[in-house]
A and B are shown apart, each in its own frame.
Chain A
Amino acid sequence: MKKKYNIGVTGLNAIDSPGPGIAVIRGLREAASFDVRIIGLAYESLEPGIYMHDHVDKTYHIPYPSTGTDLLLQRLEYVHQQEKLDLIIPNFDAELYSFIKLSDQLNKLGIKIFLPTLKQFEERQKFNLPDFGKKYDLFVPRSKPVFAVNDLYKLDEIDFPYLVKGKYYDASIVYNTDQAKSAFNKISAKWGLPIIIQEFIHGTEYNVTGLGDGKGNTISAVPMRKQYITDKGKAWGGISIADKDMLELTDKFISQTKWKGGFELELMKNSKNEFYILEINPRIPAWVYLAVGVGQNIPEALVNLAMGEEVKPFTRFDVGKMFIRYAYDMIVDIKEFEQISTVGEL
């Protein structure tokens, strides 16, 4: 008989700028090696996944990471009492830090987490990217943290146009100092200091999603080229591609950092066919179902790694398969909304 795992999943916001939760769940439901009961963990009452009962068996409200890990742990302990969780797969950027911090405590409760280490998580932060590139010998755009508007005049190495980026979110491309100053002020007012000035790499954008086992081995890697992008910059359609360089780069990234867990690399290929790493997202991306569809079930492999099973690296995937996203209207009774809003469970 197949094993059955109770798995907590966040990121149920399957909206136009989607969280990865539903895609992860689809992968888990199709897993050949185990059965699952899916426990949704939601921050807001309108995350669509809460109401998708064929995907999510039961959902609990959890407190925002900004309320602190103590409250989050308390709530997860409660959920664990009801559901006997084997594993949690966190999918939101903003919550990863808290879950990494809690991983020991959750482990003691018997709940597994398969995330990068705190060191891996911090190293790949936007403002640490130049050091990251140097340390692991990977191409990254030149960038510099800037604390004051006047320092924009001292960017000897970075030419226009360049990107003005917030510490965590937001970015604008600027072509002259006036634009840079205005972007600096706007973004720093919202996200604080420093502001990161990043070299703009001309070229074509590619993405890779993959999975590292934490020992330096690549378990999975699937490259994708975005075909259609929404006004929020999210892929609405994409195609799996075969690119040896990209796969080699991914192997290098994983073996150098001993990356643990799922990830997405945002890459830019310049005119000399060099790949630059623009960003490293330390979690499974929302388009992961493409990887499942082309033969690499990353969520399934991640669960098996977390549960201590031996996992063989995937060796092939179908090239030229596309994902095309669509929106879908569910009909939901207000009773369900009432239930999740007032009791926090559905």
Chain B
Amino acid sequence: MVKIKPNVAVSESGFLFNPANGESYSLNPVGTRIFGFLKEGKSYEEIRDSFMREYTVDHDSFERDYDDFVNMLKQYNLTERDEEEV
């Protein structure tokens, strides 16, 4: 599961500040939403299902975009390093 670093938060406007390294980011509404879910500790399946209910998107597309987004979060060092991840 993807865990967001505890001291990172996103504002309603999609502005994200990482106090650990001073970088700032901007997220679009879908990104902000996913980030919020991850922050709440929701699983991929939960996030996907709520997107399926609310947005015009299919499973495959969402999964691909989600993976790409999470990869970017990792690349930007906004997630906890997952020890179990192989």
Contact = CB atoms under 8 A, between A and B. Distances in A.
Report A-B touching, CB under 8 Å.
yes
Interface of A: 334, 337-338, 341-343
A338 B23 CA distance: 12
B17 A341 contact: no
Interface string B5-26: 0000001011101000000101
A235 B46 CA distance: 61
B interface: dominant SS:
strand
17 contacts: A334-B17, A334-B24, A337-B24, A338-B11, A338-B13, A338-B15, A338-B17, A338-B24, A341-B15, A341-B24, A341-B26, A342-B11, A342-B13, A342-B14, A342-B15, A342-B26, A343-B13
Contacts of B24: 334, 337-338, 341
A337 B17 CA distance: 10
A interface: dominant SS:
helix
Contacts of A341: 15, 24, 26
Contacts of B15: 338, 341-342
B32 to A, nearest CB: 11
Contacts of B13: 338, 342-343
Contacts of A338: 11, 13, 15, 17, 24
A337 B26 CA distance: 12
Interface of B: 11, 13-15, 17, 24, 26
In this complex, the member of B11, B13, B14, B15 whose beta carbon has the largest number of chain A beta carbons within 10 angstroms is B15
Nearest to B25: A341
A31 to B, nearest CB: 37
A343 B26 CA distance: 11
Given A338-B17, A342-B15, 7 more contacts: A334-B17, A334-B24, A338-B11, A341-B24, A341-B26, A342-B14, A343-B13
A334 B18 CA distance: 11
B19 to A, nearest CB: 9
A337 B11 CA distance: 13
B31 to A, nearest CB: 13
A211 B15 CA distance: 43
Contacts of B11: 338, 342
A194 to B, nearest CB: 40
Nearest to A342: B13
A337 to B, nearest CB: 7
Contacts of A342: 11, 13-15, 26
Nearest to B14: A342
A334 B24 CA distance: 9
B8 to A, nearest CB: 13
A334 B15 CA distance: 10
Nearest to A343: B13
A334 B13 CA distance: 14
A337 B24 CA distance: 9
B84 to A, nearest CB: 34
B64 to A, nearest CB: 27
A338 B17 CA distance: 9
B24 to A, nearest CB: 7
